[in-house]
Amino acid sequence: MGIMPKWADVVLVPLISLIIAALLSALLILAIGESPVAALKLMIEGTLLRSSGWGYMLYYTTNFIFTGLAVSVAFHAALFNIGGEGQAMMGGLGVALVCLFIPWPHWTFAIIGASLGAAFFGMIWAGLPAYLQAKRGSHIVITTIMFNFIAAGVLNFFLVGALKPKGSMDPATANFPAATHLPTFEDMAGLLGFEKMFRAAPANVSFFLALVACVLVWFLIWRTPLGYEIRAMGKSEPAARYAGIGSVKIIMVAMMISGALSGMMAINTTQGESERLILNFTEGAGFIGIAVALMGRSHPLGVFLAALLFGFLYQGGAELALWTKIPRELIVVIQALVILFTGALTLMVRRPLERLFLSLRRGG
Amino acid sequence: MDFLTLLQVLDSSLRLATPLLLACLAGLFSERAGIFDIGLEGKMLAAAFLSAAIAATTGSVWLGLLAGVGASLLLSAIHGLASITLRGDQIISGVAINFLAAGLTVVISQDWFGQGGRTPPLLSGGRFEPLTLPGAMPAKEISQAGPIMQLYSELLSGHSLLVYVALVMVPLTWFVLYKTRFGLRLRAVGENPAAVDTAGISVVGLRYAAVGICGVLCGIAGAYMATALQAGFVKDMSAGRGFIALAALIFAKWRPWYALGACLLFGFFFAVDNRFQNILLPAWVMSGVLLALGLGLIVYVRQKTLLDRIVLGGLGLGLAIVAGLIALSSLSAGLGSMIKIPVVFIQSLPYVLTVVVLAGFVGKAIPPRSGGVAYVKEK
């Protein structure tokens, strides 16, 4: 540490990793006989140059902010929460129960109730692995992976059983009552007098909830004693314990906050978009949270920017799949490369940079 | 259920356990050398794709197998580079490899074959055909044979070559790990790499060797899925098997013979799930088992700390409530009425069992001590 200035560590390393990932993806696009430049142009046209493109992008971004923050909070305590997917599924169950069985007078109340339900269910689903790690020493990575699969089983059980309306064939709950409908960007733009903006796009008020979550997580991690304790645990467990910070408490609390954040993703997808609980509504967003957190260096601002980037990639990828023969899975490859270069191969990017700065310093 | 049906279920268990077993032994080599491998799933998937693609284009299953192993080894090399040479996070590297395989297989197969992310179905030369062991009866006559003959012809005979390869790998793995110098060193490097280094043996070399063996075995596992179990590659065909293999590895406490047992058990769950859509149990049995589990947990945590009481006590209470609900809902039909066990319960069983083992309620699963930690040589 200390070889590179802080700005280089925070900005340059992720940026270079991203450029490498982009170059490799461009090569892949070339290899399947398409033009990377045309692909990028198409992605930008379908995303940034149309208000409905923005509406889709921000919808995905909302998911990724929640799951990215979730992974970040756990990272600060040196815990790897790979179970965002399962926690989000359980969060969806929480949202569905709250929206279906409580007669809400207005969406403002419903979103608070749904947030609590989603956070509570996600919290429980992260709390069990946390407990097993804290008290029983079971590796949290493995338990959270297992809990992803178990969550899928639980969700399936309820959607083909108790929560499926009678006579319906598809595994989903009944539609939520109209009073729980969250205003979409289209509704809001309409209120402000901009008709025909964000038409049919799924982005909704929960985007602002995600922004609030960013600020709250920043405040928690850097401005409260609990955040200090979480970071201390993450830096060195023996040192933290010596300072009187209980590791059991921190593991439990950090993971439960993480699970609550993952769970809250479901407000956007379930209450905001589909307005009923469906199977596979998470669509891998829990895993994208890992890439977002790594890219954003576990800082809420970084997470926000990385979530925007991945929102752009997701909407752009859908455009590509629509107009070219590049399948949507290209985005999964980009996501893998980002995770690889920002998370596992960091030394490959960092070492040459450190050498560069060292020689610059000697020269100057 | 008659004897032949049981044999058929066991036969299908063995077939479904084979990819698990190969991947599980792959993970065993890697993790025993101190390299965690979450990427078993991705390596199997990549191998399944490339083996099917090459077998479909050349018509030779052997070339397919070779290509599959090659694809898996390539991903292993990335994992080795990231986690051994560059001392990166092994878990993150594994996660990346899974996504890389999930994305690339679809992108490439779509471009190559244009069939929505699948390969063309494999014809006879492109698949591993079932081998009939000497003296085994053809399928049509089995029902008339005696029990021993049925056992031999139905359960032991009629599998593809790779099933027998996987079974032979178990004693071979045991022998290599426990009876050879290489195996001793490999285990040592997972427990205490510094000691191995002090003895003048290359930690890096040993770990690369382990990761390489892991790649080969994952490659065979993937090729088996695409060229023997099924006839071709379908998008996401590994369907979490790599993670189940990981679960089996923990369930087996990182030991080869236990791995065989764990994989056969999980394979059995798959086979039961495939064959029986409705498994019925009397309501009182189901309710009673859940109630006993729940009450057992509550009694167990009475003397423990507050956190234990909240978490495990809560879990116990939850189980007891579910037991009560089952009993209540079946009251009208009588407690002796049959209730269908949810399909997802059987499907989730491997994961639940792994969590229980990890939690140390049934024996303690202790991973290799230096697992997941990169070795930094002293200067």
pLDDT at A252: 94
Residue A211 φ/ψ, nearest 5 degrees: -65, -40
Tell me the pLDDT tens digit for each residue of A235-261.
998 999 999 998 999 999 999 999 999
- The alpha-carbon gap from A67 to the nearest alpha carbon of chain B, in Å, equals 16
* Residues within 8 A of B (CB atoms), A 199-228 only: none
Share of chain B above pLDDT 70, in %: 97
Contacts made by residues B8-12, CB under 8 angstroms, sequence distance 24+: B8/B154, B8/B275, B9/B268, B9/B271, B9/B272, B9/B275, B10/B155, B10/B268, B10/B271, B11/B154, B11/B155, B11/B158, B12/B270, B12/B271, B12/B274, B12/B275
A228 versus A193: which is more confidently predicted? A228
> For residues B105 and A240, what is the distance between their CA atoms, to the nearest angstrom?
44
> For residues A196 and A248, what is the distance between their CA atoms, to the nearest angstrom?
53
**Contact residues, chain B, for A146 at CB < 8 Å:** 243, 247, 351-352, 354-355, 358
**Subunit contact A252:B307, Cβ cutoff 8 A:** yes
Calculate ∠ Cα A294-A344-B51, nearest 5°.
115
Class of B7-275 per CATH?
mainly alpha
Grade residue B273 by pLDDT with cuts at 50, 70 and 90. confident
> For residues A24 and A45, what is the distance between their CA atoms, to the nearest angstrom?
22
The interface predicted TM-score (ipTM) is: 0.88
**Does residue B104 carry a pLDDT above 70?**
yes
pLDDT at A171: 87
Residue ranges covered by each domain of chain A: 62-306
- Burial readout A289-316 (b: 16 or more C-beta within 10 A, e: otherwise): bbbbbbbbbbbbebbbbbbbbbbbbbbb
For B174, residues 6+ apart whose C-beta sits below 8 A from its C-beta are B256, B257
Tell me the pLDDT tens digit for each residue of B183-242.
999 999 999 999 999 999 999 999 999 999 999 999 999 999 999 888 889 888 888 889
* Residues within 8 A of A (CB atoms), B 180-209 only: none
Residue ranges covered by each domain of chain B: 7-275, 279-358
Tell me the pLDDT tens digit for each residue of A73-123.
999 999 999 999 999 999 999 999 999 999 999 999 999 999 999 999 999
Tell me the pLDDT tens digit for each residue of B28-86.
999 999 999 999 999 999 999 999 999 999 888 899 999 999 999 999 999 999 999 98
**Does residue A70 carry a pLDDT above 90?**
yes
Q: Does B349 touch chain A (CB under 8 A)?
A: no
Grade residue A14 by pLDDT with cuts at 50, 70 and 90. confident
Grade residue B279 by pLDDT with cuts at 50, 70 and 90. confident
Most confident option among A106-115, A354-363, B146-155: A106-115
